[in-house]
Amino acid sequence: MSNSSNYTEENIKSLDWKEHIRMRPGMYIGKLGNGSSPDDGIYILLKEVLDNSIDEFVMGVGKTIEISINSNGVSVRDYGRGIPLGKVVDVVSKMNTGGKYDTRAFKKSVGLNGVGTKAVNALSINFMVESIRDGKLKSVTFQQGNLIEEREIENSTKRNGTKVTFVPDSTIFKNYKYRTEYVSKMLKYYVYLNPGLSILFNGEKFKSENGLRDLLEENNDIDKLLYPIIHLKGNDIEIALTHSKFQYSEEYFSFVNGQHTTQGGTHQSAFREAIVKTVREFFGKSYDSSDIRKSIISAISIKVMEPVFESQTKTKLGSTEMGGELGTVRTYINDFIGKNLDNFLHKNPQIAQSIQKKIVQAEKERKELSGIRKLARDSAKKSSLHNKKLRDCRVHLNDMNKENRLDSTLFITEGDSASGSITKSRNVNTQAVFSLRGKPLNSYSMTKKIVYENEEFNLLQAALNIEDSIEYLRYNNIVIATDADVDGMHIRLLLITFFLQFFPELIKEGHLYILQTPLFRVRNKKETIYCYSDNEKSEAINKLGLKSEITRFKGLGEISPDEFKHFIGDDIRLDPVMLDDNFNIENLLSFYMGKNTPKRQEFIINNLKVELDTID
């Protein structure tokens, strides 16, 4: 009998705004996560609140924003106009309610759909808003989107503005933690895009006077750049660009209305196209586009009227129109670069000459590599990448859609036992496994040629789809999963060296991680606790008793698939591989991977002594 007879009016349900957000948070903030990745939900919550404060600065009010994050609670205070006091509750709890639909007030705002702060409200265990306007203060408190207290308007001597305080709900963002490095990077982008704005984060001040030029200078070693940064600005556009002396791939920072569009979009595509067109016309030669853009490091920021993004988290621009009378995004960017970059090159012939030499050198290298590339591709096909080395996930097996990358992870592991355990316990929809055969080559100081000649590197590059650029990187998270012993640590180091040497932007953009796996299992008849350190083991023994069974895991291959699924599921522990802004990649690799053995030995001995003294 058909089940249709059970389909009645009782099956039809209407969810209110907060229930829908809490049931389907991914629709509003992308993925959840625990804070180990820069695009995890807790950072989107911060961004949604902060965007409103940034919009106030853009409108000419509030030059300072204060942010504090303590015990996972977040506070954002701006000195803008403040929310109209009679609408404070509506603005943070009624969907599609806000002041940005009126383009007279917010012409080029980031958040236009009235959803952001409502999502923060619904996904927080505690959410409070204070608005101060002209000597009056209104404050309201919510829990999980439910209004708990609405206080009467009172007199106040505080400066105008808005203060939002929230604590993400730990039942949704499990074991979450804000990482200072990720928050700092986010704030730096905000000040680069808003020269003159000051952001105070837990007492540290962020400010920029030179916009995108500061972005490129602070993210790169100036001595490693081929020529001084070209910095061009218009009413609704700003660009900065240069070429690296050593970097192989293209690197882009793109922004729309102050939003970091990590997945690019129509503006980034137009930018790449415009650079090629302008350079070809300036030199009067049909250089290959890949030779022109090889080693480029650049940034573009545009302001669009009522931008259309391809997701709520606004990581990719879908708009084709600038708005008003400015025409299409493509035409506007092409015209601006075609005129201003051409003028700059005419006025700076030495820089133009450096660019041309770089193009000619890139052309020579490309032709030298062309034969090797063909052999490498043929070799990859013969090696049956997807059968022998890569066990792909379903979102990629029949789909190269870039949007699916956000949900996908590639585990890089060594040995049949370890890769077998991960393969059997993984989520086949979103998690893929790449199996190494032995230790990778130390690639420090080697040329790109080695990537094609070395089977492991060639197949890994093919699996990631990053031969020429990471724009079409197939996996958002690349996780190195090796044993927690000397050999495993060495493999980690060799893989990190490979990425730093040839694809540093993978690390700069926060895609590379180290998988933490438990060192011990402590259990009795009633409970099992997995421990990632000696301290956790001691705590587990105290809890379960001295007669508990204690197992020391020597390698990933010793952990059964049934157990492994706990470590790569919702409770996965990942350590992001991050670069400090003060690190010089060349110096870093030279010290740790070069031939300065005596210096490195002295460093190890001294640091080992410090660590032993600490333990004592």
Give 498-549 as a DSSP string.
HHHHH-HHHHHTT-EEEE---SEEEE-SS-EEEESSHHHHHHHHHHH-TTSE
Tell me, yes or no, if the two domains 17-207 and 212-366 fold the same way.
Answer: no
The domain 383-517+567-583 is classified under which CATH number: 3.65.10.10, 3.90.1170.50, 3.60.150.10, 3.40.50.670? Answer: 3.40.50.670
Report pLDDT digits (tens) over 266-321. Answer: 889 999 999 999 999 999 999 999 999 988 999 999 988 777 767 655 677 776 77
- In the CATH scheme, what is the code of domain 212-366? 3.30.230.10
**What is the CA 490 to chain-centroid distance, rounded?**
26
Distance CA 319, CA 112 (A): 14
* CA atoms within 13 A of residue 449's CA, in its CB half-sphere: 11
Whole-prediction pTM value? Answer: 0.76
Domain ranges of the chain: 17-207, 212-366, 383-517+567-583, 586-616
pLDDT, residue 1, reads 46
Closest CA to 124 of 141, 139, 112, 110: 141
How much is the average pLDDT of 171-187?
90
Distance CA 409, CA 222 (A): 33
Class of domain 17-207: alpha beta
How much is the average pLDDT of 60-89?
91
Distance CA 503, CA 466 (A): 8
pLDDT above 70: percentage of residues in the chain: 82
Does residue 112 carry a pLDDT above 50?
no
* Neighbouring residues of 541: CB distance < 8 A, sequence distance ≥ 6: 522, 548, 550
* Neighbouring residues of 128: CB distance < 8 A, sequence distance ≥ 6: 139, 140, 141, 142, 164, 165, 166
Distance CA 537, CA 529 (A): 8
DSSP 3-state of 70? strand
Report pLDDT digits (tens) over 488-546. Answer: 888 888 898 888 888 888 888 889 999 988 888 899 988 999 888 889 999 999 999 88
Q: 3-state SS string over 350-406? A: HHHHHHHHHHHHHHHHHHHHHHHHHHHHHHHHHCCHHHHCEECCHHHHCCCCHHHHH
Phi and psi dihedrals of 232, rounded to 5? -125, 135
